[in-house]
Amino acid sequence: MAGRSDTLMTLWSGRLEGGPAAELWAFTASLSVDRRMASDDVAGSRAHVRGLARGGLLTEDDAAALLAALDTVDGELAAGTFVFTATDEDVHTAVERRVTELAGPAGGRLHTGRSRNDQVATDLRLWAKRELAGVAMRVVALQEVLLERAEVAGETYLPGYTHLQRAQPVLLAHHLLAHGWALARDVDRLVDTRRRLDVSPLGAGALAGSSLPLDPVATAADLGFAAAFDNSLDAVSDRDFVAEALFDLALLGVHLSRIGEEVVLWSSAEFGFLRLADAWATGSSMLPQKKNPDVAELARGKSGRLIGHLTGLLVTLKGLPLAYNRDLQEDKEPLFDAVEQVNLALAAVVGLLATAEFDSARMEAAADEPETAAAAVDLAEWLVAAGMPFRDAHHVVAGLVRESSDGAASLAELVAAHPQLGPDATGLLAPGAAVRRRTTAGGAGPAPVAVELGTFAERLRLDRTRLGG
Ligand code: ARG
């Protein structure tokens, strides 16, 4: 039943009689996924050809023919005219097949001293270097939106929450930048992962290096890698960089998820802290009145998939003996998908946040509601300033809040009547007073937030520079 195809000419068909079983092919071919690395495969092949030429392994004519063929392949890929065929097991096969069609017999020399094992690791590192930098730039673009919104927010304040219970008022700018700083760590991690993966595996061969005069250090430099591998076994079997990248993307996804969750909450009638722009909201197929925050929900929902990719790859890697195993082919799909999904999410969250309209009146009213007792800790600190131990002050104020919540008198009346607080202390209860009193460095009040805005802007400037944007 298993069909065998004699027309499938693989790179390895010499060893096996007849063609591969159709089901084997369907199960093992990876072209549909790894074709995304085609231009990286061309780049790696160019460097390999130049290395072969330096080692005297190619005549000048053969080297020229191979490089010209690689140029043509690159052009065809860029123009979208490159034709993949049913016999291309993977992108490496496709490029070598086309180069051989174009260059003639010289094509048969391209794979000298090279294995798909070092080739695929090289391609994926080139891909990841480029794409992780792209993700980091998109994160910076989102941070810029947060900064802009924070700058425009001025002294607008809202309740800050712990346990999702109103706790103390904070500036909206401070709240927005809290997400901005989390994203700054994401940028840091992406840059760091990129630095660690900047090592060329090319020249490791299948697993042990080569008998031919090849120079991995020179090809590494040719490809713009910071270094060449130190151990050929490690070079072909290490996928730490994929796991790290997936972790960076998963955590970035978690941060986007937390932003999404707040947008969902804040845009609800219960909170009413923001209104979504129509272009960034969705409707309901049945309920005519609905305006839904689907972008925010998907920003939250995608994190499950991203965490799954990380978990999946770690499980794939955990039992593998050295060196290359075909299991490693499972590294690319999660990485490609994670990068694609994160890029989509970043662009969507940028649009969502850039266009949402904050309702500062609602936010401030919520923060100032008497039952919030936003200034409770300020009342306690007033007593502390007068010499009372904080634990006692806490007890006194908690008693007043409890009494006022029983409805007998307002907190302001109780404060005014209290011997150690008195009418002067009621000023602490004035709208916005509590947030203005948060003066310590890194705190939520206008004075420290003015400094924070400058620090954050400077951080974005530095990140843009180091990412070359
Ligand atoms: N498609 C393979 C991968 O992604 C390329 C390497 C194949 N190597 C091998 N020895 N079969 O890992």
Query: pLDDT tens for residues 407-448?
Result: 889 999 999 999 999 999 999 999 999 999 999 999 999 999
> For the chain, what is the HEC assignment?
CCCECCCCCCCCHHHCCCCCEHHHHHHHCCHHHHHHHHHHHHHHHHHHHHHHHHCCCCCHHHHHHHHHHHHHHHHHHHHCCCCCCCCCCCHHHHHHHHHHHHHHHHHHHCCCCCCHHHHHHHHHHHHHHHHHHHHHHHHHHHHHHHHHHHHHHCCCEEEEEECCEEEEEEEHHHHHHHHHHHHHHHHHHHHHHHHHCCEECCCCCCCCCCCCCCCHHHHHHHCCCCEECCCHHHHHHCCHHHHHHHHHHHHHHHHHHHHHHHHHHHCCCCCCCEECCHHHCECCCCCCCCCECHHHHHHHHHHHHHHHHHHHHHHHHHCCCCCCCHHHHHHHHHHHHHHHHHHHHHHHHHHHHHHCEECHHHHHHHHHCHHHCCCHHHHHHHHHHCCCCHHHHHHHHHHHHHHHHCCCCCHHHHHHHCCCCCHHHHHHHCCCHHHHCCCCCCCCCHHHHHHHHHHHHHHHHHHHHHCCC
Residue 112 beta carbon below 6 angstroms from any ligand 1 atom: no
Active-site residue, selected from the candidate residues 284, 303, 360, 395: 284
Q: Which fold has domain 117-365?
A: Fumarase C; Chain A, domain 2 (1.20.200)
Tokens 């409707």: give the residue. Answer: 283
Domain residue spans in the chain? 28-110, 117-365, 367-466
Is the predicted pLDDT of residue 7 greater than 60, yes or no?
no
Strands 227-228 and 199-200: parallel
Class of domain 367-466: mainly alpha
Residue among 40, 90, 115, 236 whose CB has most ligand 1 atoms within 8 A, to mutate: 90
Q: What is the pLDDT of residue 8?
A: 63
Contact 206, 324 (CB under 8 A): yes
Residue 37 beta carbon below 6 angstroms from any ligand 1 atom: no
Q: Give the Cα separation of 71 and 64 in Å (integer).
A: 10
Q: How far is the CA of 64 from the centre of ligand 1 (A)?
A: 28
Is the predicted pLDDT of residue 459 greater than 60, yes or no?
yes
Residue 255 beta carbon below 6 angstroms from any ligand 1 atom: no
Q: Is the dihedral of CA 405, 407, 409, 410 positive or negative?
A: positive
Is the predicted pLDDT of residue 1 greater than 50, yes or no?
no
Q: Is the dihedral of CA 460, 462, 464, 467 positive or negative?
A: negative
Q: How far is the CA of 93 from the centre of ligand 1 (A)?
A: 10
163 is catalytic: yes
Contact 129, 194 (CB under 8 A): yes
Is the predicted pLDDT of residue 19 greater than 70, yes or no?
yes
Which atom of ligand 1 is least distant from the CA of 12? 11
Contacts of residue 384, defined as CB under 8 A and 6 or more positions apart, other chains included, come to 390, 393
Across residues 394-412, what is the average pLDDT?
A: 93
Mean pLDDT over each residue of the chain, to the nearest integer: 96
Residue 120 beta carbon below 6 angstroms from any ligand 1 atom: yes
Q: Give the Cα separation of 155 and 425 in Å (integer).
A: 23
Q: How far is the CA of 17 from the centre of ligand 1 (A)?
A: 20
Which atom of ligand 1 is least distant from the CA of 206? 10
Number of C-beta neighbours around residue 215 at 10 A = 14
Q: What is the pLDDT of residue 2?
A: 43
Provide, rounded to the nearest whole percent, the portion of the chain with pLDDT above 90: 93
* pLDDT digits 0-9 by tens, 310-333: 999 999 999 999 999 999 999 999
Residue 325 beta carbon below 6 angstroms from any ligand 1 atom: no
Tokens 């499938």: give the residue. Answer: 8
Type of residue numbered 316: T
Across residues 123-132, what is the average pLDDT?
A: 98
404 is catalytic: no
Q: How far is the CA of 382 from the centre of ligand 1 (A)?
A: 70
Residue among 122, 316, 326, 328 whose CB has most ligand 1 atoms within 8 A, to mutate: 326
Is the predicted pLDDT of residue 5 greater than 80, yes or no?
no
Q: Give the Cα separation of 131 and 266 in Å (integer).
A: 33
* pLDDT digits 0-9 by tens, 66-114: 999 999 999 999 999 999 998 999 999 999 999 999 999 999 999 999 9
Residue 391 beta carbon below 6 angstroms from any ligand 1 atom: no
Contact 198, 225 (CB under 8 A): yes
Residue 117 beta carbon below 6 angstroms from any ligand 1 atom: yes
Q: How far is the CA of 274 from the centre of ligand 1 (A)?
A: 50
Q: Which fold has domain 28-110?
A: Fumarase C; Chain B, domain 1 (1.10.275)
Which atom of ligand 1 is least distant from the CA of 332? 4
Residue 33 beta carbon below 6 angstroms from any ligand 1 atom: no
Q: What is the pLDDT of residue 276?
A: 98
Number of C-beta neighbours around residue 147 at 10 A = 19
> For 87-143, what is the HEC assignment?
CCCCHHHHHHHHHHHHHHHHHHHCCCCCCHHHHHHHHHHHHHHHHHHHHHHHHHHHH
* pLDDT digits 0-9 by tens, 45-57: 999 999 999 999 9
Q: 293-302, 308-317, 373-382: which range is least confident on average?
A: 373-382
Residue 329 beta carbon below 6 angstroms from any ligand 1 atom: yes
Q: How far is the CA of 211 from the centre of ligand 1 (A)?
A: 22
Written as six digits, the tokens of 352 are: 């969502």
Active-site residue, selected from the candidate residues 163, 200, 267, 394: 163
Residue 200 beta carbon below 6 angstroms from any ligand 1 atom: no
* pLDDT digits 0-9 by tens, 254-286: 999 999 999 999 999 999 999 999 999 999 999
